[in-house]
């Protein structure tokens, strides 16, 4: 039992050290649940219920990124693709949103680091 515990602890410490050395590790195919654990925060947040249409979509990262696009989908509606305005890489980036009708939306965002590394994520939120 002690050997198993020691091995598991050593394995976890090694994985944690590898992640700390590579700030981009673990971002590919990011799921909303993994986002909070990795330091990525969105507004609206995943599962949010807004009172009225949100004016902006924002993403905060643990390292500087540039937001490229946010694609909003709602059942039985055409996707809305929002291209983020050109801006330098920053820890917090965003794009203005069009006025959204009440409903449940899925926002798929794409961001890029200055070195060309791309990240994507998905959040769902409801507009009341």
* Number of neighbouring beta carbons within 10 Å of residue 69: 14
What token pair was written down for 36? 């909070």
Is pLDDT at 12 greater than 80 in this prediction? no
Q: What is the CATH number of domain 41-127?
A: 2.60.40.1220
Residue 125 has pLDDT above 50, yes or no: yes
Banded model confidence at residue 65, pLDDT cuts 50, 70, 90: very high
* 4, pLDDT greater than 50: no
Token pair, residue 15, equals 């994985």
For residue 1, what are the CA distances in angstroms to 5, 15, 110, 111?
6, 21, 44, 44
Q: Where are the domains of the chain?
A: 41-127
C-alpha closest to that of 100 among 124, 69, 73, 127: 127
Mean pLDDT of 73-78: 96
What pLDDT sits at residue 113? Answer: 97
* pTM for this prediction: 0.72
Tokens of 106: 């899925």
Which pLDDT belongs to residue 27?
43
């Amino acid at each position: 039992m002690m050997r198993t515990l020691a091995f598991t602890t050593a394995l976890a410490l090694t994985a944690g050290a590898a992640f700390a050395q590579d700030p981009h590790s673990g971002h590919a195919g990011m799921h909303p649940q993994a986002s909070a654990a990795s330091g990525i925060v969105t507004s609206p947040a995943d599962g949010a219920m807004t009172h009225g249409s949100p004016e902006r979509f924002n993403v905060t990262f643990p390292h500087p990124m540039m937001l490229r696009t946010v694609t909003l989908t709602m059942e039985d509606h055409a996707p809305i693709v929002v291209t983020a305005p050109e801006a330098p890489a920053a820890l917090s980036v965003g794009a203005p949103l069009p006025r959204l009708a009440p409903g449940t939306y899925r926002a798929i965002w794409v961001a890029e680091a200055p070195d060309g590394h791309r990240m994507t994520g998905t959040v769902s939120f409801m507009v009341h």
